[in-house]
Amino acid sequence: MANRIIVTGGAGFIGSTTVRHIINNTPDAVCVIDKLTYAGNLESLKPVADSGRFSFYQADICHKSAMDEIFANFRPTHVMHLAAESHVDRSIDAPGDFIQTNINGTYTLLEAARKYFNTLDANEKSHFRFHHISTDEVYGDLGSTGKLFREDTPYAPSSPYSASKAASDHLVRSWMRTFQLPTIITNCSNNYGPYQFPEKLIPLVILHALSGQELPIYGTGSQIRDWLYVEDHAKALYKVATNGKPGETYNIGGNNEKTNLEVVQTICGLLDELAPRSDGASYAGQIIFVPDRPGHDLRYAIDASKIKTELNWQPQETFASGMRKTVQWYLDNRCSWCAHVLSGEYKMERLGRGEKL
């Protein structure tokens, strides 16, 4: 039986990748809910927008009546909740937006799901899943311990962003314990790949390098992250949503620990090869170091052994292969998708098949 999946935040980076994966590789129907803030880009959904199994609603997950209406009309078998404010720097400048979307929005969505769940028969209830997509940043800073984040690692968030995501994780778990809503949580490491909004490190560096701008790195660039190619993540998310066990948490990582400086140097090396500067100099000469941001965690790293053992998932891309694909995609789409994002033109795009609630 084909599933009917609500994907919140489905016009964002990870969300749109997940939607494209589902439409292109399964018989399932997908209903995207997205508020279309600055990070929501309908151009990222154009490759699947003509599918009869795709529908779109422009709506805020904090809008109770809109959520109730979508659940009643679409009648999902699964919810994949990706809608979130997610940029740490923005959470330092405007934490209120993160509280509203990540905490209050998750609460509103949980209540809409619970109301809908209570209308289902026993068979439908046994199939329904609410999958909440979170981050490894809820676990805090590993520092130089050499340890890895496990599903039972205590929470110790450092930023308004990670604190708001930690709060939403707790809400999701409590709705299962108290109301028997079948929920699953995944916590992922840093994603990269095509269609990522250019405020994030990797697309920012690629586009700044190509335009001759400086490449800013916080502190000394010694911060370590585990990098996960976004298409590998999308495959993991679908597998968890459809095969994961309610009440469980699954950590999803790329097994690719790199310092920020290593990441930027890798991009510069690939650009030197694929799009050399006209003066023959290396793009690495554009690197500069800027003051570190407040509360910057030193190291995140995921132990993804549980999802490998229980659900037979592991990343297919190495850091080298994933980065090459990513850099090449931004080169190929610099004058289309990238140009529309940088100019703001993407905000005017319309799919022609969506509804606004």
Residue 100 DSSP class: I
Residue 132 phi, psi (nearest 5): -100, 120
Per-residue tokens: 243: 């095969």
Which residues face 188 on adjacent strands?
A: 135, 252
**What span, in angstroms and rounded, lies between the C-alpha atoms of 143 and 107?**
32
Active site residue 137: yes
Query: Distance between CA 74 and CA 30 in Å, rounded?
Result: 9
Are the beta carbons of 92 and 163 closer than 8 angstroms?
A: no
Classify 157 as helix, strand or coil. coil
Counted residue by residue, the chain has a size of 357
Q: Cα separation of 157 and 136, whole Å?
A: 9
Q: Are 182 and 151 in contact (CB under 8 A)?
A: no
Active-site entry in 43, 136, 231, 257: 136
Q: Where are the beta strands (DSSP E) in the chain?
A: 4-8, 29-34, 54-58, 78-81, 129-135, 183-188, 190-192, 215-218, 224-229, 249-252, 257-259, 287-290, 354-356
Say which of 116, 161, 229, 346 is annotated catalytic.
161
For 41, 83, 100, the CA distances from 34, given in Å and listed in that order, are 9, 7, 15
Cα distance between residue 215 and residue 290, in whole Å? 10
The first and second tokens of residue 253, run together, are 């990582």
Rg of the chain in Å (alpha carbons)? 20
In angstroms, the CA 284 to CA 144 distance is: 27
Catalytic residue check, 107: no
Tokens of residue 4, six digits: 């009917």
Amino acid at 72: A
**Catalytic residue status for 257:** no
Catalytic residue numbers read 136-137, 161
